[in-house]
Chains A and B, each alone.
Chain A
Amino acid sequence: MAAAAAALRHLALRARLAPSPTAGAPLQRLQQRRGLRLSAPAAIQVTVRDALNQALDEELERDERVFLLGEEVAQYDGAYKISRGLWKKYGDKRVIDTPISEMGFAGIAVGAAMAGLRPVCEFMTFNFSMQAIDQVINSAAKTCYMSAGSIPVPVVFRGPNGAAAGVGAQHSQCFAAWYGHCPGLKVVSPWSSEDAKGLLKAAIRDDNPVVMLESELLYSVPFEMSEQAQSKEFVVPIGKAKIEKPGTHVTLVAHSRPVGHCMEAAAVLSKEGVECEVINLRTIRPMDIETVEASVAKTNHLVTVEGGWPQFGVGAEICARIMEGPAFNYLDAPAVRVTGADVPMPYAKILEDNSLPQVKDIVFAVKKTLNI
């Protein structure tokens, strides 16, 4: 049975590799050769913060069961201003400032979800979610299964994850691996504004508990948003990765802010004749390993990049799955992981900078795996 399944996946992979020229190919080549940047009509620059705010606003308007709760989300407009203007617009019943108890308000969110509402629960950072982790894992994640499907828990836990700048060990941990480990949860990690808006809307509309790992350092970064992405019905499907930049020599896989570092590394390497394919995972669980497999089958080399710690991390999982699947046969070199340093995050800037993957580390890893 397992052999048949493996054979089927192999066939599916081969089918994906079959070349299919698109109408846009000549245009893409022109863009790459001449360095032209062509914007889609009516696209605008939107920061990740504003994209999240739009998503919350639209979903609050669309479904009266949706509500926000967390510390400082209402009158303060949110600790990072993600919920700016929403309390003024929707009032006390829809945007709620909670007392300082993560265990408390996460539990309240879970209970409200079990009783038919659709809460969006903000952790000021996911570091503080550890105070509530029993509610997230033992209750939110496991209840649907434990009740044989009769008690869904449609809650979204969201907030900044991973490193910020100069906030030390207890404010900088990446929780992608921890939450990605647990069946019963969906875990998403956006990079661009389109990711942020589309995934948050998808998360709120999903009947499962969803953990949305944002990045404080990305909140103020503007990204281009197409006209389609600006619409109220724009949703990014959970469980589907995106190829941000096609390439032929090596596959770079990342999530969240490191996707940007990969794009920068790809630009540096392009000048040296190495074309990287950059994959933005978008979702940690369920992970879209098929997109990675198809890419590895094309490039034969894999480098994973993450801000989190190496042991038991996202990169470790990607490497394990690649080994277990058909793409293993296409690897010309062992996959390489670029990760955060295996230490609690230090505060001093020189120490912090060197505890996180930098563009030069990605370039080094690519050259090492390509043996150049």
Chain B
Amino acid sequence: MTNYGEEGTHVGSAAALDAADLVFGQYREAGVLLYRGYPLELFMAQCYGNARDPGKGRQMPVHYGCPQRHFVTISSPLATQIPQAVGAAYAIKRADASRAVVCYFGEGAASEGDAHAGFNFAATLECPIVFFCRNNGYAISTPTSEQYRGDGI
């Protein structure tokens, strides 16, 4: 689960956010959390699942999260974060109009039904959310030509 080549997308998008904006990632957004000041030692502790891991060894590597930095803990099933991000955005809209939500996902995850539902609800519920698709051309070995037939997500 590396982030090679996508560092620019993390740092650039994170720089555009306010510190309190809520981030839902997929599993390839370590740079966003790093930009918000999450210590390298804690990244490593999480990967090792050792005694210093704030997640107490419950989660697989790269499944980090940090409530204080408004970064929702990574969850494995693809695209489940999309409707959840929309729900969170809806809750935020009702509570505090100055915050937004950003939801990251890969082009492969966008094939999941949850993605369609999430986009649809974001529109119909008019939620303050930015959907950020990291299209890196492959989902494991499946190229975009087999993932979708449009000109993009």
Contact = CB atoms under 8 A, between A and B. Distances in A.
Our verdict on whether A and B bind, yes or no, reads yes
A169 B58 contact: yes
A270 interface: no
Contact of A170 (B53, B77, B147): B77
A99 interface: yes
A73 B139 CA distance: 13
Given A76-B141, A99-B148, A104-B111, A168 B58 contact: yes
B108 A100 contact: yes
A168 B108 contact: no
A45 interface: no
Interface residues of B, number: 28
A103 B75 CA distance: 18
B63 to A, nearest CB: 7
Contact of B147 (A100, A166, A344): A100
A288 interface: no
Nearest to B139: A100
B60 A171 contact: yes
Contacts of B58: 168-169, 344, 346-348, 351
B113 A168 contact: no
B78 interface: yes
A168 B139 contact: no
Contacts of B61: 347
Contacts of A76: 140-142
Contact of B113 (A131, A344, A348): A131
B112 interface: yes
B60 A167 contact: yes
Given A99-B146, A100-B78, A104-B111, A168 B63 contact: yes
A71 B142 contact: yes
Nearest to B79: A100
Interface string A308-344: 0000000000000000000000000000000000001
Interface string B67-85: 0000000011111000000
A122 to B, nearest CB: 13
Contacts, number: 78
A223 interface: no
Interface string A103-130: 1100000000000000000000001101
Contact of B57 (A104, A171, A344, A351): A351
A54 to B, nearest CB: 23
A28 interface: no
B113 A170 contact: no
Contacts of A71: 139-140, 142
Interface string A5-33: 00000000000000000000000000000
B102 interface: no
Interface in A155-210: 166-171
B40 to A, nearest CB: 20
Contact of B142 (A97, A170, A171): A97
Given A100-B109, A127-B77, A131-B77, 12 more contacts: A76-B141, A76-B142, A99-B111, A100-B108, A168-B63, A170-B75, A171-B60, A347-B49, A347-B58, A347-B61, A348-B50, A348-B53
Q: Which 8 pairs, one residue from A and one from B, show the smallest C-beta to C-beta distance?
A: A348-B57, A99-B111, A348-B49, A168-B60, A170-B76, A76-B141, A100-B111, A100-B108
Interface of A: 71-72, 75-76, 79, 97, 99-104, 127-128, 130-131, 166-171, 344, 346-351
20 contacts: A71-B139, A72-B140, A75-B141, A76-B140, A97-B142, A97-B146, A99-B111, A99-B142, A99-B147, A100-B108, A104-B113, A131-B77, A131-B112, A168-B76, A169-B59, A344-B58, A346-B57, A347-B57, A347-B58, A348-B58
